[in-house]
């Protein structure tokens, strides 16, 4: 009998991951693997709520699996699965749909944003996105959900749905807690907006040293530090936030001190960051390449993940059916 509490989180297979994804969610997902039974999903049904290219989907899903494993999700410790291969996700989502008021969904910030950006594509799936996410989490009775801070409103909604289910029927699901990492948000190279593919302000996990340096060298730092001789404030600097995610404590302390006293300039600080970031990313890139050359292994991991996920999901659904009085007759 497995006594460890469960964790669920998901990543959409929608192309290259950037260091904002890695630092905001993945590093956190990786660090929970020892203490919890973790289920990590490649959430392809979520990726279908915005325009996508079906011809690229299959490869994006594979790439997402590679990213997970290369970044440090260990398939021996955690369950790595594709959402659409465990049909209980959508089945539970339907059931949760019937207890979720529309008004809760209309006020979700990501829905309002996406609808504004793309009024012709405001489909039901987009509105329902948070309910599917609640189903992902509840299916495994997860108690902890590592996410970046942009996901907090979704998590709050999951908790509301859990409470509603538990009060309408028998208490069945735990209320999940969001877990932010030590660095929950990295801004883009512009130092203002969050790092986002559509804003073209990202460093990608597969960027090479030259690309990274080109991007870092022009990235915005503390805007009040105009000259090399001005002291800066690390707490106002996105480059320093990146240090916190990639550098050793010694380097972090050194850069903070020397920035405040104008002992080093921003470029010096960026060079130290470059070394540390490359050290991390080159390791991930090396593992990615190996995994890409070993397709069999990745597919085996996914098949095994599906099996293990399905077992847990089926147990939860049996409870849910019994609670609702459905699937009694076959």
136 neighbors 41 (Cβ within 8 angstroms):
yes
Helix %, strand %, coil % for the chain, to 5? 60, 10, 35
Token pair 């999940």 in the structure block, residue: 176
195 binds ligand TRP (CB under 6 A): no
CB of 38 to ligand TRP, least distance (A): 11
* Residue nearer to ligand TRP on the CB measure, 125 or 213: 125
Q: Could you confirm whether 141 is annotated as catalytic?
A: no
What is the CB-side half-sphere exposure of residue 45 using CA atoms within 13 A?
23
Residue 119 burial (CB < 10 Å; 0-12/13-18/19+)?
exposed
Residue 30 as a binder of ligand TRP (CB under 6 A): the answer is: no
Our CB check for ligand TRP shows the closer of 52 and 213 to be 52
HSE, CB side, 13 Å, CA atoms: give it for residue 62: 15
CB of 144 to ligand TRP, least distance (A): 10
Counting Cα atoms < 13 Å in the Cβ hemisphere of 204 gives 13
70, 108, 147, 203: which one contacts ligand TRP (CB under 6 A)?
Answer: 147
Rounded CA gap, 146 and 151, in Å?
A: 9
Binder among 12, 28, 184, 238 for ligand TRP (CB under 6 A): 12
Q: Which of 5, 197, 271, 310 is catalytic?
A: 197
CB of 43 to ligand TRP, least distance (A): 4
Q: Which of residues 260-319 bind ligand TRP (CB under 6 A)?
A: none
Which 3 state secondary structure label does DSSP give 35? Answer: coil
Pick from 120, 163, 146, 128: nearest CA to 35:
146
Q: Is 187 in the site for ligand TRP (CB under 6 A)?
A: no
Is 5 designated active site? no
Q: Does the footprint of ligand TRP cover residue 183 (CB under 6 A)?
A: no
108 vs 269, beta carbon nearer ligand TRP: 108
The only residue of 7, 32, 42, 43 in contact with ligand TRP, by rule CB under 6 A: 43
Q: Out of 13, 18, 27, 46, which residue is the one contacting ligand TRP (CB under 6 A)?
A: 46
Q: 327 CB contacts (<8 Å, ≥6 apart)?
A: 321
Dihedrals phi, psi of 219, to nearest 5 degrees: -70, 145
**Using CB atoms, what's the residue nearest to ligand TRP?**
10
Which residue among 28, 60, 100, 151 contacts ligand TRP (CB under 6 A)? Answer: 151
Q: Which of 10, 188, 232, 305 binds ligand TRP (CB under 6 A)?
A: 10
20: contact with ligand TRP by CB under 6 A: no
Helices and strands: H and E segment counts in the chain: 14, 5
**Nearest distance, CB of residue 215 and ligand TRP, angstroms:** 23
Separation CA 131–CA 124 (nearest Å): 11
The candidate with the shortest Cα–Cα distance to 61, out of 39, 77, 46, is 46
Site string for ligand TRP, 124-143 (x = CB under 6 A): ---------x--xx------
Whole-angstrom distance, CA of residue 131 vs CA of residue 95:
10
Q: Catalytic residue among 194, 244, 271, 310, which?
A: 194
Which active-site residues does the annotation give? 114, 194, 197
Binding site for ligand TRP (CB under 6 A): 8-10, 12, 43, 46, 133, 136-137, 145, 147, 151, 154
């Amino acid at each position: 009998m497995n006594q460890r509490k469960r964790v669920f989180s998901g990543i959409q297979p929608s192309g290259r991951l950037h260091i904002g994804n890695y630092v905001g969610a993945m590093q956190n997902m990786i660090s929970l693997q020892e203490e919890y039974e973790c289920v990590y999903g490649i959430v392809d049904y979520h990726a279908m709520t915005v325009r996508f290219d079906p011809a690229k989907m299959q490869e994006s899903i594979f790439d997402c699996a590679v990213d997970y494993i290369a970044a440090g999700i260990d398939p021996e410790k955690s369950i790595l699965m594709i959402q659409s291969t465990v049909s209980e996700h959508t089945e539970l989502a339907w059931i949760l749909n019937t207890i979720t008021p529309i008004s809760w969904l209309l006020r979700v910030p990501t829905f309002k944003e996406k609808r504004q950006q793309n009024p012709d594509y405001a489909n039901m799936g987009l509105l329902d996105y948070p309910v599917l996410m609640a189903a992902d989490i509840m299916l495994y009775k997860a108690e902890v959900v590592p996410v970046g801070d942009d996901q907090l409103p979704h998590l709050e909604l999951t908790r509301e749905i859990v409470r509603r289910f538990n009060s309408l029927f028998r208490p069945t699901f735990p209320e999940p807690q969001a877990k932010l990492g030590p660095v929950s948000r990295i801004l883009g190279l512009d130092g203002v907006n969050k790092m986002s593919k559509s804003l073209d302000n990202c460093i990608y996990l597969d960027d090479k040293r030259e690309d990274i340096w080109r991007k870092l060298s022009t990235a915005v730092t503390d805007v009040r530090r105009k000259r090399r001789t001005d002291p800066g404030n690390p707490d106002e600097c996105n480059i320093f936030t990146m240090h916190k995610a990639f550098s050793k404590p010694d380097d972090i302390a050194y850069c903070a001190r020397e920035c405040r006293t104008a002992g080093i300039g921003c470029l010096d600080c960026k060079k130290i960051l470059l070394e540390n970031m490359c050290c991390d990313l080159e390791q991930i890139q090396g593992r990615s390449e190996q995994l890409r050359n070993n397709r069999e292994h990745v597919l085996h991991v996914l098949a095994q993940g599906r099996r293990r996920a399905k077992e847990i999901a089926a147990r939860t659904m049996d409870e849910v059916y019994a609670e609702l009085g459905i699937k009694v007759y076959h």
